[in-house]
C-alpha cells in the first residue's frame, strides 16, 4: 500500500522549504509518495528539486527598501491577508482530499494544520518561532510587552492544534530561538527539541579541490563566506553595502552568495579578493573552507554555521524581532558578533572580522557547540516521528 506524506513549508525565503526538502530526501523509499504545498520563492525552489508542489495564495510579511521590516506596508497588507488566508485553507483542503496523506507536516504555516484538523488527519508542526517578537523600540513600552505576551499565547493556542510540535533547535540553555519559544506557556506540554534540520555535508577531496580551483582560494589568507538569505527584497541592499566595504581589503578573501534559487551558478569575480554567486553550487565546500560566516539572523543559516563550527558575524534584518533575538543569543553564547545594519560601517565590520580571526575563544566555543549539535540528529529524529504515522 502506498504511504503518502504531505509537506507544507512557509514560502518566504528558502529556510523553511530547505528543512522539509532535507526531510523529504531522507524519507525517499519505495512505497512512500510525497507532495508539497507552498507559495512564492519556495514553491519554485521545491519544483526545481524534483518534487511536486501545489501552489497556494501568499500570506507574507513586507519589507522596506533597505531590508527592514515595514510596519506601514504590513498594516496595509492586512486586508490582503484576510482574503488570502481562508483561500489558503480551502486550497489545502482540496489538495489534501486529492492526495489523501497519512500525515501532514507543516513548517511554520497555520492553514495546513487547520485543513488537516477539518479532515481529521494527523498533523505535525515544525517551527522555531512560536510568537512574533516586536522591535526593541516597541518592547521598551509595557503595552508592547503585554501585546507580545498575549500574541504569543494566542499563536501558541493555534499552533497547539498540532499533534506534536517539533523545535529544530538545541535544548536549553543552548536554544538559538529561545526568546520566541521558551516563554510561551500554551505549547510547553507538546514541544520537543529535536536538533537542527540541516543538510549533511557532502564534501569530498575532489569537490574541495574543484571549489579551490574555481575560486582561486589562497590558503594563506582568511576566507569569509558572505551567505545572505531571507526574503528577496532584503538581500541586495545589505550585499551592496558589504561589497563596498570589503573591496578595500585585499588581504581577506570573500565569497558572496545571494541565495537566488533560480540564479546563475557561475561565479563573477567582482574585485581582486571577491567572488559573487547568485546561487552557490559549492556552498558546503565554502562553508567548510571559510574562517568566518557573515549572515543575516535566520535560524537555518545559524544552524548550518554551528554544524560546521564556524564563528558568525550576524547582521539581522532591521526591525525583525526574531533575527534580532537570534543574533543576541549568538553573542551570549560567545560564538560570534551581532552588527546593526543601520549603523554598521567599515571600521565596525573590519574590527569584528579581526576579533573573530584573532581571538580563538570564539572558535573554541562554537566547536564545543558543534559537538553538542552533532549528538542530536534532527533529521533522523523527525524522520522517525514521521515514519511512526505511515
Q: Clarify whether residues 241 and 105 are in a common domain.
A: no
Q: Which of 194-203, 254-263, 345-354 has the highest mean pLDDT?
A: 345-354
Kindly state the cell numbers that stand for 65: 527598501
Q: Which residues contact 23 (CB under 8 A, 6 or more apart)?
A: 7, 105, 197, 379, 382, 383, 386
Residues in the chain: 390
Give tens-digit pLDDT for 301-346: 899 999 999 999 999 987 788 889 999 999 999 999 999 988 899 9
21 vs 28: CA distance, rounded Å = 11
Q: Which long-range contacts (CB under 8 A, 24 or more apart) does 206-211 make?
A: 207/282, 207/284, 207/285, 208/285, 208/288, 208/289, 210/282, 210/285, 211/282, 211/285, 211/286, 211/289
Q: Is it the case that residue 67 has pLDDT exceeding 60?
A: no
When pLDDT is cut at 50, 70 and 90, the band that residue 80 belongs to is: low
251 vs 274: CA distance, rounded Å = 11
Specify the pLDDT at position 77: 66
191 vs 189: CA distance, rounded Å = 6
Pick 303 or 2 by higher pLDDT: 303
Q: Is it the case that residue 66 has pLDDT exceeding 60?
A: no
Q: Clarify whether residues 149 and 247 are in a common domain.
A: no
Pick 102 or 134 by higher pLDDT: 102
Q: Clarify whether residues 45 and 150 are in a common domain.
A: yes
Q: Clarify whether residues 60 and 148 are in a common domain.
A: yes
Specify the pLDDT at position 320: 80
Specify the pLDDT at position 52: 94
Average pLDDT over residues 74-78: 64
Q: Name the nearest CA neighbour of 184 among 197, 167, 201.
A: 167
Q: Clarify whether residues 320 and 339 are in a common domain.
A: yes
Q: Is it the case that residue 255 has pLDDT exceeding 80?
A: yes
Q: Clarify whether residues 241 and 123 are in a common domain.
A: no
Specify the pLDDT at position 315: 95
Reduced to 3 states (helix: H, G, I; strand: E, B; else coil), residue 126 is strand
Average pLDDT value over all residues in the chain: 88
Q: Name the nearest CA neighbour of 194 among 172, 169, 174, 175.
A: 169
- Its sign, for the CA torsion 286, 288, 291, 292, is positive
Specify the pLDDT at position 288: 93
Instruction: Give the chain's domain count.
Output: 2
Q: Check: CB of residue 211 under 8 Å from CB of residue 286.
A: yes
Q: Clarify whether residues 257 and 272 are in a common domain.
A: yes
Average pLDDT over residues 74-102: 84
290 vs 253: CA distance, rounded Å = 9
11 vs 248: CA distance, rounded Å = 37
Write the CATH number for 43.
3.40.50.2000
Q: Clarify whether residues 187 and 259 are in a common domain.
A: no
Q: Clarify whether residues 235 and 334 are in a common domain.
A: yes
Specify the pLDDT at position 13: 76
Q: Which domain holds residue 211?
A: 205-374
Q: Is it the case that residue 248 has pLDDT exceeding 90?
A: no
Q: Is it the case that residue 277 has pLDDT exceeding 60?
A: yes
Q: Clarify whether residues 74 and 9 are in a common domain.
A: yes
H helices of the chain, in order, are 15-27, 40-48, 71-99, 111-118, 136-139, 142-159, 178-181, 205-215, 235-246, 283-289, 299-308, 321-333, 346-358, 361-374, 378-387
In this structure, what are the phi and psi dihedrals at residue 361, rounded to the nearest 5 degrees? Answer: -65, -30
Within 10 angstroms of residue 371's Cβ, the number of other Cβ atoms is 10
When pLDDT is cut at 50, 70 and 90, the band that residue 390 belongs to is: confident
Q: Clarify whether residues 192 and 209 are in a common domain.
A: no
Cβ-based burial of 139 (10 A; exposed 0-12, middle 13-18, buried ≥19): middle
When pLDDT is cut at 50, 70 and 90, the band that residue 19 belongs to is: very high
Specify the pLDDT at position 98: 96
82 vs 72: CA distance, rounded Å = 17
Specify the pLDDT at position 143: 76
Give tens-digit pLDDT for 166-208: 999 999 999 999 888 877 888 888 899 999 998 766 788 999 9
Specify the pLDDT at position 111: 95
Pick 48 or 62 by higher pLDDT: 48
Q: Clarify whether residues 111 and 170 are in a common domain.
A: yes
Q: What is the DSSP string of 262-323?
A: TS--S-EEEETTEEEESS-TTHHHHHHH-SEEEE-S-HHHHHHHHHHT--EEE-PPTT-HHH
Kindly state the cell numbers that stand for 366: 562554537
Q: Is it the case that residue 273 has pLDDT exceeding 80?
A: yes
Amino acid at each position: 500500500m502506498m504511504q503518502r506524506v504531505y509537506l507544507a513549508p512557509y514560502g518566504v525565503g528558502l529556510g523553511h522549504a530547505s528543512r522539509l526538502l532535507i526531510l523529504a530526501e531522507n524519507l525517499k523509499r519505495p512505497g512512500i509518495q510525497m507532495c508539497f504545498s507552498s507559495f512564492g520563492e519556495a514553491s519554485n525552489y521545491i519544483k526545481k528539486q524534483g518534487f511536486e508542489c501545489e501552489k497556494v495564495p501568499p500570506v507574507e510579511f513586507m519589507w522596506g527598501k533597505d531590508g527592514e521590516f515595514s510596519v506601514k506596508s504590513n498594516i496595509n497588507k492586512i486586508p490582503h491577508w484576510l482574503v488570502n488566508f481562508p483561500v489558503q485553507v480551502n486550497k489545502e483542503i482540496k489538495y489534501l482530499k486529492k492526495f489523501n496523506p497519512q500525515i501532514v507536516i507543516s513548517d511554520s504555516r497555520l492553514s495546513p494544520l487547520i485543513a488537516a484538523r477539518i479532515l481529521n488527519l494527523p498533523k505535525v508542526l515544525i517551527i522555531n518561532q512560536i510568537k512574533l517578537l516586536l522591535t526593541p523600540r516597541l518592547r521598551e513600552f509595557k503595552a508592547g510587552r503585554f501585546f507580545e505576551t498575549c500574541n504569543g499565547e494566542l499563536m501558541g493556542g493555534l499552533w497547539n492544534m498540532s499533534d506534536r510540535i517539533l523545535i529544530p533547535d538545541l535544548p536549553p540553555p543552548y536554544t538559538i530561538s529561545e526568546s520566541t519559544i521558551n516563554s510561551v506557556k500554551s505549547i510547553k506540554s507538546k514541544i520537543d527539541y529535536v536538533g537542527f534540520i540541516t543538510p549533511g555535508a557532502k564534501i569530498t577531496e575532489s569537490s574541495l579541490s574543484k571549489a579551490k580551483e574555481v575560486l582561486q582560494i589562497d590558503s594563506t589568507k582568511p576566507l569569509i563566506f558572505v551567505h545572505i538569505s531571507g526574503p528577496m527584497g532584503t538581500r541586495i541592499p545589505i550585499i551592496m553595502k558589504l561589497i563596498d566595504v570589503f573591496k578595500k581589503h585585499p588581504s581577506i578573501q570573500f565569497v558572496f552568495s545571494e541565495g537566488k534559487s533560480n540564479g546563475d551558478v557561475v561565479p563573477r569575480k567582482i574585485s581582486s579578493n571577491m567572488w559573487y554567486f547568485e546561487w552557490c553550487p559549492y556552498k558546503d565546500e565554502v562553508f567548510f573552507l571559510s574562517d568566518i560566516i557573515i549572515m543575516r539572523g535566520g535560524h537555518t543559516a545559524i544552524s548550518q554555521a554551528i554544524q560546521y563550527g564556524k564563528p558568525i558575524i550576524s547582521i539581522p534584518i532591521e526591525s525583525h524581532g526574531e533575527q534580532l533575538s537570534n543574533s543576541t543569543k549568538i553573542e551570549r553564547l560567545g560564538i560570534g558578533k551581532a552588527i546593526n545594519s543601520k549603523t554598521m560601517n567599515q571600521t565596525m565590520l573590519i574590527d569584528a572580522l579581526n576579533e573573530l580571526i584573532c581571538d580563538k575563544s570564539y572558535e573554541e566555543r562554537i566547536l564545543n557547540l558543534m559537538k553538542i549539535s552533532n549528538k542530536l540528529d534532527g533529521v533522523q529524529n523527525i524522520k522517525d516521528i514521521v515514519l511512526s504515522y505511515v
